[in-house]
Structure 1
Amino acid sequence: MKGRVDAHQHYWNVARADYDWMPRDHPVLSRNYLPADLAPVLAEAGISRTVLVQAAATVEETEYLLGLSDATTSIAGVVGWIDFEDRRHLQHLQRLKHHPNFLGVRPMIQDIVDDDWMLRDDVQWAYAALVELDLTFDALGFSRHLPNFLTLLRRYPKLRVVVDHCMKPPVRDHGTAQDAFSTWAEGMSRIAAETSACCKLSGLVTEAGDGWSAEDLRPYVSHVLAAFGATRVMWGSDWPVCLLNASYEGWLGTAEKLTAHLPEGDRMEIFGGTAQRFYRLAR
């Protein structure tokens, strides 16, 4: 399959010291991950381009990532960050818009204590600006955020939105919390049916328990595919976060296995076409 795209991966340099979420001295996370580390993995996997996503809540990190994109041909675009609580950051959106690799932004909603933060009056200007500037919005959260995301997306129907990591369903608790699966599934179905949002097939392995298998992930993958359809689903590695529970090749192989029954055209959408179209990646 040619022209494959990894729709969600990260690079970071821990010396930057703006990754507030990162545990200190973590054996997997707290080390540098840079293009030279991923290049051979991409080549082996047949991935030609990636979407590089912010990992720090600073504009400075966004500019750092754009610099990496200038020097790295495999980076097709960058999803950055601005402060939704500071209207002065409109100037950053307007400025960054002119960089050919700047795609949009991702506020780190999963880390915000107030679940209703996204609906606060003082942050609405940012969504309106994204619509006006025709930039993308990566929706990062947990299952409990689904009702508020639905409200938000219906409020801004022209906002170009992709749900990150299938909204992090409770995979590790699937056997003991069927109600949690049903709540997640219903919320995702409503997002799919009532909005134009896409969904990233990513992040599931880090929500799974130790010793997970493809069958543990199958109900979630099947539901996302049924709800959104292949033309609104894009695969992402979430590398290097995925290394907490799987290798890049391991997660990619699992995703391929769980989509192997689909027609080739659908698989081409999931592993490249949807990301190409949603992010308007230059060919």
Structure 2
Amino acid sequence: MIDAHQHFWNYQPERDTWITDDMSQIQTDFYPNESQVVFESNGIQGCIAVQADSSEEETLFLLALAEQNDFIKGVVGWTDLQNDHLESRLEYFSQFEKCVGFRHVVQGEKDPLFFQRPNFIQGVKQLAAFDYTYDILIYPHQLKESVAFAQKLPDQKLILDHLAKPPYKSKDLTNWKKDIQGYRSLDHVSAKISGLVTEADWANWTKDEIKETIDVALEVFGPKRLLFGSDYPVVLVASTLEKWLEVFHESVASLSACEQADIKLNNCLAFYQVEL
């Protein structure tokens, strides 16, 4: 297996304000040399490191870790995709072999029309020339806009993080189920089965509610467009790594061995163009 979504950081309270006091389990440093043993004991041989802070310093931090740790197979970083000089920044990052893509925290944007910004669309379009991917990080209410955005970028490899964070706590998945259907025909968009238990009630989530959304993802994206992700260490606020893996494995158990291998390994290698 390969983990398509993992984080590393040198915890800084003044910077990492999103890690609130009720997430005390992760108010500490996380480095690959410490987590690699845990992952390998659970059958995971490598990961894609994804940005958690919106800065180029973060991108360089992850790339430095990747150079020092073969466990990190690729880095999804951050750069200002609305920058007038974006091409030169992408050229700069192209010197790093393990830089595979970029992400913008659109879920944090208050502008409901952010996905329609011409300079943002143009910025993401420039990624294809460098063979970079783009990770879509949104909340459920942004799904419709994200689908329209993806339709404008047919030549760009896109991936939806955390299945757009299903609203488990609301007990009503109706709109999420309807809106995510917009991705069904967009073959250039994949999705990560990741970050789900942290969207549910941390203390009382159930396997059935998680499996329900994974079933929807299988219906919409199919086994060829889905990737496994741990969202470690964020997952620790609601689960152990082992518990999340158990739920994931049970949720895909009815698939063929080849389909499971695609979700657990092959799709990630192909999407991010990395090797174990």
Query: TM (normalized to structure 1)?
Result: 0.92
- Equivalent position of 1:193 in the other structure: 185
Partners in 2 of 1:17 and 1:37 — Cα distance?
24
* Contact kept in structure 1, 2:73 and 2:274, CA below 8 Å: yes
Residues 1:154 and 2:146 are matched in the alignment: no
Task: Give SS of 2:3's match.
Answer: strand
- 1:208 to 2:200 alignment: yes
In 2 relative to 1, CA 17–97 (structure 1 residues): closer, same or farther, beyond 3 Å?
Answer: farther
Letter in 2 for 1:245: A
> Per the alignment, in what secondary structure is the counterpart of residue 27 of structure 1?
helix
Q: Partners in 2 of 1:19 and 1:118 — Cα distance?
A: 25
Bigger drift between 23-32 and 57-66 goes to 23-32
Please tell me whether the aligned partners of residues 121 and 149 of structure 2 are also in contact (alpha carbons under 8 angstroms).
no
Asked whether the equivalents of residues 77 and 101 of structure 1 are also in contact (C-alpha less than 8 Å), the reply is yes
One-letter amino acid of the structure 2 residue matched with residue 241 of structure 1: V
- Which is worse superposed, 123-132 or 14-23? 14-23
* Structure 1 contact 11–52 (Cα < 8 Å) conserved: yes
8 Å contact from structure 2 (residues 133, 156) kept in 1: yes
Cα separation, partners in 2 of 1:173 and 1:73, compared to 1, 3 Å: same
Hey, what does 1:270 align to over in structure 2? 263
| Equivalent of 1:36 in 29, 33, 37 | 33
Aligned length: 275
Tell me by how many angstroms 1:95 deviates. Answer: 1.1
Query: What are the within-5 Å matches in structure 2 for residues 235-274 of structure 1?
Result: 235-274=228-267
Worse-matched range after superposition: 235-244 or 21-30? 21-30
Measure, in 2, the Cα distance between the counterparts of 1:115 and 1:276: 33
C-alpha contact (below 8 Å) 1:203/1:238 kept by paired residues: yes
Q: Which residues of 2 match residues 91-110 of structure 1 at below 5 A?
A: 91-110=88-107
Give the superposition deviation at 1:218.
1.6
Deviating 4+ runs (over 6 angstroms)? none
Distance across 2 between alignment mates of 1:145 and 1:25: 26
Deviation at residue 247 of structure 1 after TM alignment: 0.9
Q: Which residue of 2 aligns with 1:79?
A: 76
Report the Cα offset of residue 195 of structure 1. 4.4
Secondary structure of the 2:219 match is helix
Percent sequence identity over aligned pairs = 27
| Conserved 8 A contact 1:69-1:76 | yes
Is 1:163 the counterpart of 2:160? The answer is: yes
CA distance in 2, matches of 1:110, 1:15: 21
**Are positions 1:88 and 2:85 aligned together?**
yes
Q: Which moved more, 1:251-260 or 1:111-120?
A: 111-120
Q: 5+ residue gaps in structure 1?
A: none
Deviation readout 1:173-192 (Å, 9 max, x if unpaired): 22xx2xxx121112212112
Distance in structure 2 (CA, Å) of the matches to 1:255 and 1:243: 15
